[in-house]
Amino acid sequence: METVELLQTLCDAFGPSGFEEEVAETLQRLIAPYVDEMRVDALGNLIAIRRGTGDTTLMLDAHTDEIGFIISYIEENGFLRFTQTSGWDARIVPSHALTIRSDHGTFVKGYIGTPPPHILRPEDRDKPYKLEDLFVDIGVDSAEAVAALGVRVGSPAVIAYPFEQLNEQVVMARAIDDRAGCAVIVKTLEALAGQELEATVVACFSVQEEVGLRGATTAAYQIEPDIALVLETTVAADYPGIEPQRRPTRFGHGPAVVVMDNSMITRGATVRAITELADEHLVPWQYRIPYGGGTNAGAIHRSRGGVQTGVVSIPVRYFHSPYALMRLDDFENTVRLVTEFTRHCPGLARR
Ligand SMILES: [Zn+2]
């Protein structure tokens, strides 16, 4: 599938943590031509296997969940209270449109309303809203009307905004974290179609990363990889107000190689294997400056007796907010690097 269409399809799929079924179903259709077998495990991880000629197993991981919300209380007059599944800065949540998935499988639109300046008390003007004070207005006026729509305590929700292409190089979407990583795996499998590979590639589309690497924990245990590569998106902060040393990555400088975050310190040999491969194949790359964060690598590298694990992340601006921006050249260069990594895998595993 053409890259922008692929990104749009994956980014617009509904999948807050714990409710990733639509993303997994979409991915099953997309990768079916390129893999030998697939299964969805008890937690909802989609695990797809492409058999190689040798006995090395490479796990490619990307997470299917996105930061989202869950309905927590229905007011008698039809307003909905909600909480986040994880990952949100509560200050930026007010005044956005939401999509709620109902028990009927339909999507119900709503708006996180806030009072206008006309009726705000002067002392409240500079105060950020707390999540527990916010509510969703879905345009009905009773709890019965909410129930009739199939919305209840526990209904999942995400921000409502659709994928947009700003120009030939930049796209903007709600769930780029980490559907772009999922798309890298799809494109890598597509690029390697029909080629003989020594490594058995296990593509793992993991659930519940945003709530604590839960899917990757059980997936890595089952897969028992010899080597793993996590495909993620990460903070690009090359915009006004952020000093250079607090910019983990920059837009347009290629895939970012993670050396350390809060979940893993990448082994030096693994970092060198990735960066030397990028240099050999003329793929631009950058280090991700260590500055907080974490990925599924945190769970995978500690699985069983330990797994040699690397992380390659696409720089994304405005991470964990209603929209994130990504450059297509950074995406394509990440696909090139991961494709070469997969081709050279058994050699890299022995370093
Ligand atoms: Zn992520």
**Domain containing 137 — which CATH number?**
2.40.30.40
Distance 142 CA to ligand 1 centre (A): 37
Residues 48-82: pLDDT tens digits?
999 999 999 999 999 999 999 999 999 999 999 99
pLDDT surpasses 80 at 252: yes
* pLDDT number for residue 351: 55
Q: Give the per-residue pLDDT at 126.
A: 87
Asked whether the predicted pLDDT for residue 18 surpasses 90, the reply is yes
Which pLDDT score is estimated for 117?
87
Q: What is the pLDDT of residue 1?
A: 86
For ligand 1, the distance from its centroid to the CA atom of residue 294, given in whole angstroms, is 8
What percent of the chain has a predicted confidence (pLDDT) above 70?
99
198 lies in the same domain as 126: no
Residue 55 identity: D
Q: Does 219 fall in a domain?
A: yes
C-alpha of residue 295 to centroid of ligand 1, in Å: 7
pLDDT for 291 equals 86
- Verify that 191 and 318 share a domain, yes or no: yes
Clarify whether residues 242 and 344 are in a common domain: yes
Nearest-angstrom CA–CA distance, 41 and 20: 12
Provide the pLDDT confidence category of residue 346 given band limits of 50, 70 and 90.
confident
Q: What SS3 string covers 235-291?
A: EECCCCCCCHHHCCECCCCCCEEECECCCCECCHHHHHHHHHHHHHCCCCCEEECCC
46 and 91 share a domain? no
257-263 mean pLDDT: 96
Backbone angles phi, psi at 221, to 5 degrees: -60, -45
Q: In this predicted structure, which of 8-12, 119-123, 248-252 has the lowest mean pLDDT?
A: 119-123
If you average pLDDT over every residue of the chain, what do you get?
A: 96
Q: Of 159, 193, 223, which marks where a domain is finished?
A: 159
Domain match, 52 and 75 both? no
- 114/224 same-domain check: no
- Residue closest to 13 by CA, chosen among 174, 156, 223: 174
CA distances from 53 to 33, 161, 214, 222, 340 (A): 19, 44, 31, 20, 17
The verdict on 190 and 286 lying in the same domain is yes
168 has catalytic annotation:
no
For residue 347, the model assigns a pLDDT of: 74
Q: Which two tokens stand for residue 25?
A: 């179903």
- Give pLDDT tens digits for 118-157: 998 988 888 999 999 999 999 999 999 999 999 999 999 9
Taking phi over 0 as left and psi of -120 to 50 as alpha, with beta for the rest, 241 belongs to: left
Burial of 222 (0-12, 13-18, 19+ CB in 10 A): middle
In-domain check, residue 14: yes
Say yes or no to pLDDT of 243 above 80: yes
pLDDT recorded at residue 333: 98
Q: What is the mean pLDDT of residues 307-322?
A: 96
Identify whether 167 is part of a domain: no
Query: Separation of 77 CA from ligand 1 center, angstroms?
Result: 37
End-of-domain residue from the set 126, 159, 192: 159
| CATH code of the domain containing 18 | 3.40.630.10
Q: Does 350 score more than 80 pLDDT?
A: no
In sequence order, what DSSP letters do the residues of 30-70 get, joined into one string? HHGGG-SEEEE-TT--EEEEE--SSS-EEEEEEE--B--EE
CA of 242 to the centre of ligand 1 (A): 21
The partner residues of 111 in beta bridges, in order of sequence, read 97, 137
CA of 351 to the centre of ligand 1 (A): 28
- Residue 164 in domain: no
Ligand 1 centroid distance, CA of 177 (Å): 5
Domain range for 61: 3-66+174-349
Same domain for 307 and 233: yes
Same-domain check for residues 326 and 234: yes
Same domain (yes/no): 134, 279: no
CA of 78 to the centre of ligand 1 (A): 33
Are residue 62 and residue 75 in the same domain, yes or no? no
Domain count, the chain: 2
Domain contains 166: no
Which of 203-207, 288-292, 347-351 has the highest mean predicted lDDT (pLDDT)? 203-207
Q: Are 190 and 50 members of one domain? A: yes
**Region 186-204: what's the mean pLDDT?**
97
Q: Indicate if the pLDDT at residue 101 is higher than 80.
A: yes
> How are beta strands 57-63 and 227-236 bridged, if at all?
parallel
- Does any domain span residue 169? no
CB-hemisphere CA count at 13 Å for 95?
7
Report the pLDDT value the prediction gives residue 257, as an integer from 0 to 100.
Answer: 98
Catalytic residue among 22, 164, 196, 209: 209
**Average confidence (pLDDT) over 181-192:** 98
Judge whether 168 lies within some domain.
no
Inside any domain, residue 295? yes
CA of 157 to the centre of ligand 1 (A): 18
pLDDT digits (tens, 9 = 90+) for 265-298: 999 999 999 999 999 999 999 999 998 899 999 9
Of the three residues 103, 135, 159, the one that is the final residue of a domain is 159
